[in-house]
Amino acid sequence: MLLEKSQEVNGIQVCYRAVGQGPTILMLHGWGRGSVAYAQVMEGLAEKGYQVIVPDLPGFGGTEPPKEAWGVDEYAQFAFQFSQKLGLAKFYLLGHSFGGQVAVKLATGHPELVQGLILYAAAVIRRRPGAITKAIQTIARAGNSMLSVPPFSILKKPMRKMFYRLFGIGSASYSQGVMKEVREKIVRQDLSRLLPNISLPALILWGDKDKSTPVEDAHLVKEKIPQASLIVFRGASHLIHQEVPEEFVYHIAKFCSEKQ
């Protein structure tokens, strides 16, 4: 049975979900999603004999935001502290998208804890904004200025939500206040230089229709990690765990069983 739990970590009350018994898989979620989005695959992995733990990272789900703008280093330190609070001596580590950035940092900082690394559409390669991205940013700034003046200000919140949905930016609630600062910080943090330092067995999972982290990045990540294997899901996007959960679970369980 999947349980919702709480644990204090360095002054932050962390909500997390856990299910199953057996070797542990610590899963770090993507931007704006939280642990609830992974419930189905958590149950599937538990049925295959694993304990799966997914914390709501600070600022997401039921966990309060950090007091200041964190970057990847701070989130990785949090994930380490969380694992120690739960007494996890060894675990498989899975990171999705933004969580993949955190997973790479944690795996390179504490390789003794990680039995195997799974990078799922991991946003570890960050490029300078292209022409399209710059145009979107210009539109956003212009729209924000216009909608800050009465009587247009009444439309600011609904227009912001529509803009985020249109351009796939994510939930507006994670793009304001300190979390806006967090986002601006992490999207500038390219971790590709750390990939050759990963001495662990690694599984890379990617969708060939992913628009958030292009599949070209998957091949670059595989080339840089010495012990990496790559599985590309045909027709899948950035949310493989929701689109083909059974196949997703199968490959993760297979990888973990081979590394025990």
Range 3-126+189-258 has CATH code 3.40.50.1820: yes
User: For the chain, what percent of residues have pLDDT higher than 70?
Assistant: 82
Confidence band, pLDDT 50/70/90 cuts, at residue 260: confident
Could you read off the pLDDT of 150-185 as tens digits, one per residue? 765 566 566 555 544 444 444 444 567 899 999 999
Least confident window among 78-82, 139-143, 183-187:
139-143
Instruction: Look at residue 175 in the predicted model and tell me its pLDDT.
Output: 62
List, in sequence order, every residue forming a beta bridge with 232; answer none if it has no partner: 206
Instruction: Please report the pLDDT score of residue 210 as a whole number.
Output: 96
Span of 88-102, 165-179, 193-207 with lowest mean pLDDT: 165-179
N-term to C-term CA, the chain: 24
Which region holds residue 22: left if phi is over 0, alpha if psi is between -120 and 50, else beta?
left
Q: Give kind and range of the element (H or E) at residue 24.
A: strand 24-28
pLDDT tens for each residue of 43-53? 999 999 999 99
Distance from C-alpha of 91 to C-alpha of 24, rounded to nearest angstrom: 5
pLDDT at 41 exceeding the cut of 60 = yes
Residues 20 and 45 sit within 8 Å (Cβ to Cβ): yes
Instruction: Work out the average pLDDT over 80-89.
Output: 97
Confidence at residue 132, expressed as pLDDT on a 0 to 100 scale: 38
What is the Cα–Cα distance from 51 to 46, expressed in whole angstroms?
6
Whole-model pTM?
A: 0.85
Domain with CATH 3.40.50.1820 in the chain: 3-126+189-258
pLDDT for 33: 77
Separation CA 49–CA 257 (nearest Å):
10
Give me the count of residues in the chain.
260
**DSSP labels, 96-145:** ETHHHHHHHHHHHH-GGGEEEEEEES---------HHHHHHHHHHHHHHH
pLDDT mean over 39-45: 98
Taking CA 52 as the corner, what is the angle to CA 39 and CA 217, rounded to the nearest 5 degrees? 80
With beta carbons less than 8 A apart as the criterion, state whether 115 and 90 touch: yes
Give 14: exposed, middle or buried? Use CB within 10 Å, 0-12, 13-18, 19+: buried
Q: DSSP class of residue 29? A: -
Phi/psi for 106 (5° steps) reads -70, -40
Residue with tokens 């997390």: 16
